Structure 1
């Protein structure tokens, strides 16, 4: 069975039961939100949906008949609303492109780490940061090891090609490509479940334009979120 969640006039989903339990635990869904499964005749609270019997899943270890026994109930956790996630870094993709050219690519490296750090905050299972660390680390290592070759070329000195350096460069490129697609997958997962806005990205554009395309999509996400906030404010 899959479930729709309703809060404040907005409907989210569909979610599986496992999704629903996970989002309650993480605070993305409130126990007081309304839920309706495809086999349920009417809406019910999430608390009633997850525990229709009303019986606690964990029984107290001390018998209630014991006069010294005082039942203790854990306080209900407070859950942050979905829209409290930090907005994506919203530097216009065109400005990112200009700064990338001016700094000979250094700005894009820094910006990729900023984006992956934000992604990790809103989607904790994102691995983009690790891929970028590995990819750029190997890239810098490859550049450092290649300096003697560049010096030999400048002095017209004989040098031998190094297969190991070529392989290192390929691995560095592959890790950065994996970071791009991990970011793409994390964005699609987050903005189709936790903050559902029906978000999709092109794999082809991700491959060829990388960070610039990702930034353009983050600009689009910010526009959608601002429009949603404006709509909620005007109700």
Structure 2
């Protein structure tokens, strides 16, 4: 590489370099220079606009001398004003890093935590902080206005909605529907605000060499937290110049999937327990219907010292007339009471099953137990009936 290949850049009142000509050509093609950028290299009498950067060449010295002073933005800079080798950035992105406003760098996990412990108040304030920074890099951003309209719509919508709920008790009200419409408007405006911020970041950060990648689906579901992850990543780039590691996205989906996974586990435990509860409730209906039959059975036995042969003898309605939602009949015969569960409403576990109650005389009193003819599963029987 020859001395002629070394080029100095003057931009925004600072001098940078020297850089290889090939590198400068690449940056020029990428549009990374300001409109007023100046250049100088060995053999040129003074700084010239970027358009004339390759118009002068010279050589012969082994080390290029310091570039001459130049005037930019109303200020004159001389070679003695600073040491280029010591203070000049190593690449063009250092200029943009220095000029980029520091974004709010609070970790998204802390944003979530503070939102939870403040009962949502922090989650109302933080979007405006994010929008304020976006406005610094894009003066045309409307995100702050959209957020303000969103939260106003939410507040007014809640007032209308709950006022409408109260009015329904006294004849109805259209406020409920209006409130619901306003709260829907809140979500639309809120999402538009975040997609607007993402668009501003792409338009203003990618051209300075910061490859912002904001996924639309993730932004839709996690908006404030996902964008905050991007802002923390940008803050890391501004402080270090490094774009690795990338802004977190997968961990947000883990936070979404994890509760679903936990809910699935709880459901796997709770659903069978609930099913068992439902079945025992249905069996209990049979025991409740059998109470009147047991009373008639006992009276017959007390008066005649014998068991009733059937429902009619015990003074009961026919067996198929003693029914319930889950019980199809309560039959007295053979010295016992048989409760049948064969209705369509009964759970399939006990459908077509029977609960057989057998009397036992004990000191003039009759006690009842479930005999071996019972076909209802033991786990679904009342505790007193389990074998």
TM-score range, shorter chain: 0.5 to 0.7
Work out the CA distance in 2 between the residues paired with 1:159 and 1:96.
41
Work out the CA distance in 2 between the residues paired with 1:183 and 1:189.
10
Query: Could you say which residue in structure 2 is the equivalent of 1:232?
Result: none
Query: Could you say which residue in structure 2 is the equivalent of 1:136?
Result: 151
Query: Could you say which residue in structure 2 is the equivalent of 1:211?
Result: 224
1:32 aligns with 2:38: yes
- Note if contact 2:131-2:197 (Cα within 8 Å) is conserved in structure 1: yes
Work out the CA distance in 2 between the residues paired with 1:199 and 1:133.
26
Query: Could you say which residue in structure 1 is the equivalent of 2:214?
Result: 201
Q: Offset at 1:116?
A: 0.5
Q: Offset at 1:104?
A: 2.1
Query: Could you say which residue in structure 2 is the equivalent of 1:167?
Result: 181
- Note if contact 2:157-2:181 (Cα within 8 Å) is conserved in structure 1: no
Q: Offset at 1:109?
A: 1.5
Work out the CA distance in 2 between the residues paired with 1:89 and 1:132.
17
Q: Offset at 1:136?
A: 1.4
Aligned pairs for 1:24-103 within 5 A? 24=35, 30-32=36-38, 47-49=49-51, 76-77=72-73, 81-82=95-96, 83-103=98-118
CA root-mean-square deviation: 3.3
Query: Could you say which residue in structure 1 is the equivalent of 2:160?
Result: 145
Between 1:200-209 and 1:165-174, the stretch displaced more is 165-174
Higher strand proportion, which one? 2
Q: Helix, strand or coil: the match of 2:139?
A: coil
- Note if contact 1:12-1:196 (Cα within 8 Å) is conserved in structure 2: no
Q: Offset at 1:89?
A: 0.3
Q: Offset at 1:167?
A: 2.0
Structure showing greater relative contact order (alpha-carbon pairs closer than 8 Å, 6 or more residues apart): 1
Work out the CA distance in 1 between the residues paired with 2:129 and 2:161.
28
Q: Offset at 1:151?
A: 4.6
Instruction: Please give the TM-score of this superposition, normalised by the length of structure 1.
Output: 0.64
**Higher Cα Rg: structure 1 or 2?**
2
Work out the CA distance in 1 between the residues paired with 2:164 and 2:239.
52
- Note if contact 2:160-2:178 (Cα within 8 Å) is conserved in structure 1: no
Q: Please, which of 195, 213, 220 is the counterpart of residue 181 of structure 1? A: 195
Unaligned runs of 5+ in 1: 1-5, 25-29, 35-44, 53-74, 230-235
Q: Offset at 1:152?
A: 5.3
Unaligned runs of 5+ in 2: 1-8, 10-15, 41-46, 55-70, 76-94, 243-387
Work out the CA distance in 2 between the residues paired with 1:126 and 1:218.
16
**Pair 1:78–1:218, CA change in 2 (3 A):** farther
Aligned residues: 180
